[in-house]
Amino acid sequence: MKQILVLHTGGTIGMAMGPRGLAPRPGLVEGALLRLTPPGLELTVESFDPLIDSAEMGPAVWNRIIDRIVGWSGDGVMITHGTDTMAFTGAALAAALPGLPVPVILTGAMKPLGMPGDAETNLILALDAATRCGPGVWLAFAGRVMAGASVVKHHSTAADAFRETHPAAPPRGAFLPRRFAERRLAILTLAPGLGTSAEAVGAALDRLDGAVLRVFGAGTVMQDDRLLSVLSSAIRRGCRIVAVSQCEQGGLSPGAYAAGEALWALGVENGGTMTAERALAELWLET
C-alpha cells in the first residue's frame, strides 16, 4: 500500500459557482479523491484553511509546503494548486528540494470539479503519477507529466495550458532541502526603446535585492549607455541580476553576439536555459 500525502492549497479545481462567480468550496477536492483514488493507494489529505488563490503564492507558502514535504515519510506527495502561478511553484520546489527522494506531483484544472472539463482527469493522472514517477517535482496536466522545473503556462484558457521547455534533469546528490528568504525581487523584460526609460528601470532596481532580466534571443541587449549604466550601478551595490532568454527554448549563449557582451562584462549572471520562474526561485533561496 503506497502512502501519498495530498496538499490541497486551492485553485479552480476546488471551486464551485456561487452568487459572485467561482469561489473555493471546502470538501470538493476531498470528496473527489474519495471517489477517484484507486486500490493500493492510501491518501493523507490536508487542505489549507483558508484555501489560497494561486495569485497569493510566494515564498512564505512555498516554505510551508517544503516543511510538510520534508516531514512526510511516505511514498510521494501530490499538491493541488491554481494554474496561474503553478509554473512558479514547480520551479520553486524543484530549486529548493535537490535530491528529493520521492515524487512531488503538482496538478490543478482549468475547470472546477463537477463541471465538464479537465478536473477529474487531471486528478486521476496526478494520482497515477504519484505512484509511477521517479523522484523529483512534476506537473500532471492535460494527459502529460512534465518537469516542474521547466514548465510554463502558455495559454490562459485552454485545457492544455502548460508546456515543458526542456526535459527533467536526473536527480542529483543528497537530499538537502532549502527554504526561501525574504527578499525584494522582480522579473524585468527588455523591450525595444527601453533605454529611454532607463531612469524608471534604475528606480526599480534601487528598491530590489535582485532581478531576473529577460533579454533578447541568445543573450543580446541594446547598446544604450543609459540602460547599461543603471544595470551596472545596481550590480555594484549588490543587486544580483540573472539574465534569461525571452524565448522558451534554447537558452543563452554568452559570446555568440557582440550585442550581448556588455551584459556579462557588467556582471549580469547567465541563467542558461532556466525559465524566468526558475531563475526567480533561485534568487529567493536562502544562501
**Is the pLDDT score of 279 beyond 90?**
yes
Q: What is the CA radius of gyration of the chain?
A: 20
Task: Give a yes or no: residue 67 inside a domain.
Answer: yes
Q: How many CA atoms lie within 13 A of 252 on its CB side?
A: 28
Domain end, chosen from 99, 129, 164, is at: 164
Q: Give yes or no: residues 101 and 23 share one domain.
A: yes
Using the 3D structure, point to which of 134, 164, 194 is the last residue of a domain. 164
pLDDT, tens digit (0-9, with 9 covering 90-100), for 11-69: 999 998 888 888 888 999 999 999 999 998 999 999 999 999 999 999 999 999 999 99
d(CA 151, CA 145): 10
Shared-domain flag, residues 10 and 106: yes
CB neighbour class for 265 (10 Å; exposed up to 12, middle 13-18, buried from 19) = exposed
pLDDT bin (cut points 50, 70, 90) of residue 5 is very high
Exposed/middle/buried for 21, CB within 10 Å: 0-12, 13-18, 19+? Answer: exposed
Say if residue 51 is in the same domain as residue 145. Answer: yes
Q: List the domain range (segments joined by +) for residue 146.
A: 2-164
- pLDDT tens readout for residues 200-240: 999 999 999 999 999 999 999 999 999 999 999 999 999 99
The number of folded domains in the chain is 2
CB 54 within 8 A of CB 153: no
- Identify whether residues 13 and 150 lie together within a single domain: yes
What is the C-alpha to C-alpha distance for residues 16 and 113, in angstroms, rounded to an integer?
A: 8
Same structural domain, 13 and 145? yes
* Residue 176 included in any domain: no
CATH number at residue 204: 3.40.50.40
Give how far Cα 131 sits from Cα of 30, 66, 145, Å: 19, 20, 12
User: How would you label 276-286 residue by residue, b for 16+ Cβ within 10 Å and e otherwise?
Assistant: bbbbbbbbbee
Cell of 109: 484544472
Supply the pTM of this predicted model: 0.95
Residue closest to 80 by CA, chosen among 148, 155, 139 = 139
Q: Is residue 283 within a helix (H) or strand (E), and if so which, with residue range?
A: helix 276-284
Are residue 137 and residue 249 in the same domain, yes or no?
Answer: no
On the 0-12 / 13-18 / 19+ scale of CB atoms within 10 A, 65 is buried
Q: What is the mean pLDDT of the chain?
A: 94
Q: Cα separation of 234 and 213, whole Å?
A: 13
31 and 136 assigned to the same domain: yes
Residues 95 and 141 reside in one and the same domain? yes
Q: Are residues 17 and 146 in the same domain?
A: yes
